């Protein structure tokens, strides 16, 4: 267990280094304004995370101007977790609702998008927390790099494309209620939520969405950067990673 923990921490550090080098290549001069979604910091890793680790490396190098943190509704991983990690690290950050991202792009306030991934299909399609795909569309329209940071183990060669990824549908109450466990609500069960929609309202609540590879500028892993993102490039990366592991 300790060995796996150490390997994960080392992989996180390598992703951070590769990601920062890519940012400096795409955005010379520093002053990066980075938009991120969901949580990708030390709470999800044995090290300092994936996408968040890149932003943290930019901060430590004096090249991060602002970290824009999506709330990441409905479970608010950005507000509850990423904002906490950014504050703890002394980063300049600002929280925004997911649907405010478009106006942020339109104002020219985003230099790059950095997200993690729950799974990357063989063709480079990226499944990540719902709300990631709209950011990729916005980034493409506004000519902003959309960068995915994830370990090689996230690439799943047995899943050929994005359509083959089964997306979990979460309970509707996550959308129709606001969870406030520390606020007593008369007549509500312990740990229940405060209703914000009429009783009986159905909700569409997918856990993830899938971004096609043509909208992904680069995939950053501990073994290097893949750009452009293609089936062949990902397969070569995975093969190289297996050789490193065996040796």
173's tokens:
């109450």
| 110 contacts 144 by C-beta, under 8 angstroms | yes
| 218 contacts 54 by C-beta, under 8 angstroms | no
**Residues 6 or more apart from 42 whose CB is under 8 A from it?**
48, 49, 52, 85
Annotated active-site residue in 118, 123, 156, 161:
118
Task: Mark whether 118 is an active-site residue.
Answer: yes
Verify cis geometry, omega within 30 degrees of 0, for the bond prior to 35: no
| 140 contacts 176 by C-beta, under 8 angstroms | no
Residues serving a catalytic function are 118
């Amino acid at each position: 267990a300790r060995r796996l923990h150490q390997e994960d921490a080392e992989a996180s550090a390598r992703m951070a280094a590769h990601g920062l080098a890519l940012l400096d290549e795409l955005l010379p001069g520093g002053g990066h304004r980075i938009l991120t979604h969901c949580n990708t910091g030390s709470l999800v890793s044995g090290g300092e995370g994936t996408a968040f680790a890149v932003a943290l490396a930019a901060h430590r190098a004096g090249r991060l101007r602002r970290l824009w943190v999506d709330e990441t509704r409905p479970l608010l991983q950005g507000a509850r977790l990423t904002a906490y990690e950014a504050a703890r690290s002394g980063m300049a950050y600002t929280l925004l609702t997911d649907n405010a991202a478009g106006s942020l792009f339109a104002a020219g306030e985003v230099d790059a998008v950095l997200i993690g991934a729950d799974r990357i299909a063989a063709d480079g399609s990226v499944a990540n927390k719902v709300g990631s795909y709209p950011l990729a569309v916005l980034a493409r329209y506004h000519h902003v790099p959309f960068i995915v940071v994830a370990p090689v183990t996230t690439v799943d060669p047995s899943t050929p494309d994005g359509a083959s990824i089964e997306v979990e549908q979460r309970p509707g109450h996550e959308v129709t209620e606001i969870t406030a466990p520390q606020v007593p609500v008369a007549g509500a069960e312990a740990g229940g939520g405060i209703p914000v929609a009429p009783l009986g309202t159905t909700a569409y609540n997918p856990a993830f969405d899938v971004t096609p590879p043509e909208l992904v500028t680069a995939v950053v892993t501990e073994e290097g950067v893949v750009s452009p993102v293609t089936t062949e490039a990902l397969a070569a990366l995975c093969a190289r990673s297996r050789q490193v592991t065996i040796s």
